[in-house]
Amino acid sequence: PGRDLLKGVRQAPAHVVVIVVVVTVIAVVALKAYSGAGTPLRGGFPSGHAAVAFAAWMAITLIVLPLTHGALVSTLAFLVALLVAQSRVEAGFHSSAEVVAGALLGSGVTILLFQIWG
């Protein structure tokens, strides 16, 4: 089972994951500039940390879900993304709405780009 997981990850479209992260960061910076809240690297709408964390979770999910133990790996990645989002709210850098917006942005960009190039 572990070999299947590693084999599947090795065959994953790494270039799509890089594109996902780059597009997500650009979208976050553009939305922060448009909203005028926060700076590109701190605070504001949406949360960049949440966007990248949820983009990573979605990419991991799309890559490993068909594999043995893929659901477990996806669940663990989701929990990490939730912890990132929660830490942004607890630290006072973002509101819950900003974190949710970041999570939706990151997940949405990932799904879209995997549909196009995945």
Q: What pLDDT does 72 receive?
A: 92
Distance CA 9, CA 110 (A): 17
Q: What pLDDT does 81 receive?
A: 97
3-state class of 68 per DSSP?
Answer: coil
Assign 3-class secondary structure to 41-63.
CECCCCCHHHHHHHHHHHHHHHH
Which residues does the chain have with pLDDT short of 50? none
Q: What pLDDT does 9 receive?
A: 54
Q: What pLDDT does 11 receive?
A: 64
**Model confidence, pTM:** 0.83
